Structure 1
């Protein structure tokens, strides 16, 4: 299998193909999605299938996804790493407000701890950098929380390579989470920096938000393997770099099984070359 372990932050081994919880919430990541028992079943099945990296955020719902993770995974298996995010406030389905003030980051982190029913968050990711607050103050707040044992590792969401370099001067960064997939590789310089520094790169929209189904090369490779384009896209990510840790989300048990089966898909060098070409 190509889904070998990645050691997050130097001490947390995880399987590289994880699970993201955004799709357990309603449209626009607002409110619940259907029966909570279905969401709990998907989370538990993911862990049964060997997933050890669960990615969530306080504003998915808001609060809904974190509460579902706690309900499904309590007590949480010792080898499962739970990552969450803070720094963005939701006031409606279409309203997202960045807030990186130290006092707000502390309040958000402590609220996530309560919802997740945990003493420590394995990976706490700054969901967006706040341009109104100095980076040193935002990371300083997270470093204080880490010193208190409330955070084990710090991550960043949606940053450039230059921003990551600046952050690394101020704190140890275990992960970044940016858009990256077979058809969108605009953050290639960031991936190269992550590779050089041993930082996990959690690509969001790893399945291209539906666009992959229209890509003829992906479809042809999928047909040759009797697989789906989504499975090929996930397998390509796992082949592409050892630091890429995709966490595709779904609220469907069948789709979950399909996604996780991608870890067993081996792509030949010629197929990888063909897939590399469209986004080069």
Structure 2
């Protein structure tokens, strides 16, 4: 990997290996909360190791332990050059899992809540996350994205992104306002990735440690990792970064040891033979 940074939105240069905050407060959406002291320690160490892009959301958390509040506790006042991205759209159901979607008139409140919880006057990047817990497609996003575009015009948001979208929804959003980033599940979305690369738009895949999530791909990752003497997680991260110079990886963890392991993958260069094998 020769390209280490990406110009997010054209004016925010970030390392292509960042940090996802979902696991700071909880292992899974329906699991128990973690001790907040651990999350604070992980965040501070992440910045010491060179992280300058943190991906979070107001719905990341369980009970009183919330990712945004951990970020503010650990890192405010924020150092210059740190980019914090957040997502709005999902709303928690009765079980606390973010399975519902906000209506257009609810989005301002979600953005303002993120500003308060993070202690910011303006959010660097806000994704419109659509689709609930399902896959992309099947609904219009123009009205909701237009609300975020209005908040951007007011100065509350610097750049806009979309998450969990298909090609049609991506085009719909771009017709409303500039899109700086797409955050989709890592699932071989080659066409959309190519479109992002051509347009200078960041592509930020959800990060499953098993790559695409199926056992066959996980088996390939494990074999490459064994041959190189590294962990499968490190191979998965390195393969994501090798997919395109537009890819930003955001592996998340609540463990200091796993944090060190994940960020060390930024220096792992996979050879052509290994990449060909991983891609089938």
TM-score, normalised by the number of residues in structure 2: 0.90
Residue by residue over 1:152-206, the C-alpha shift from the partner in whole angstroms, topping out at 9 and shown as x without a partner, is 00011100112111211111000111111xxx31x22211111121111110034
Shift of 1:240: 1.1
Instruction: Show structure 1 runs of 4+ deviating over 6 A.
Output: 130-133
The question of whether the paired residues in 2 share the 8 Å contact of 1:87 and 1:128 is answered with yes
- Kindly indicate whether residue 169 of structure 2 is the aligned counterpart of residue 157 of structure 1: no
Shift of 1:119: 0.3
The question of whether the paired residues in 1 share the 8 Å contact of 2:88 and 2:126 is answered with yes
- Kindly indicate whether residue 21 of structure 2 is the aligned counterpart of residue 21 of structure 1: yes
TM-score, normalised by the number of residues in structure 1: 0.90
Name the structure 1 match of 2:237: 234
The question of whether the paired residues in 2 share the 8 Å contact of 1:161 and 1:193 is answered with no
Q: Which stretches in structure 2 are left out of the alignment for 5+ residues?
A: none
Q: For the structure 1 residues 52 and 3, does the alpha-carbon distance in structure 2 shift closer, same or farther, using more than 3 Å as the test?
A: farther
Residue by residue over 1:110-162, the C-alpha shift from the partner in whole angstroms, topping out at 9 and shown as x without a partner, is 01000000000000111116899853321221111111111000011100112
The question of whether the paired residues in 2 share the 8 Å contact of 1:212 and 1:230 is answered with no
Q: Distance in 1 between matches of 2:27 and 2:6?
A: 32
Q: For the structure 1 residues 3 and 56, does the alpha-carbon distance in structure 2 shift closer, same or farther, using more than 3 Å as the test?
A: farther
Count how many residue pairs are aligned between Structure 1 and Structure 2.
272
**Residue aligned with 2:99, SS:** strand
Shift of 1:216: 3.2
Instruction: Give the 5 Å matches for 1:32-51.
Output: 33-51=33-51
Q: Distance in 1 between matches of 2:138 and 2:222?
A: 44
Determine which of 146, 149, 153 is the counterpart of 1:143.
149
Name the structure 2 match of 1:104: 106
Q: Distance in 1 between matches of 2:73 and 2:216?
A: 34
Shift of 1:207: 1.9
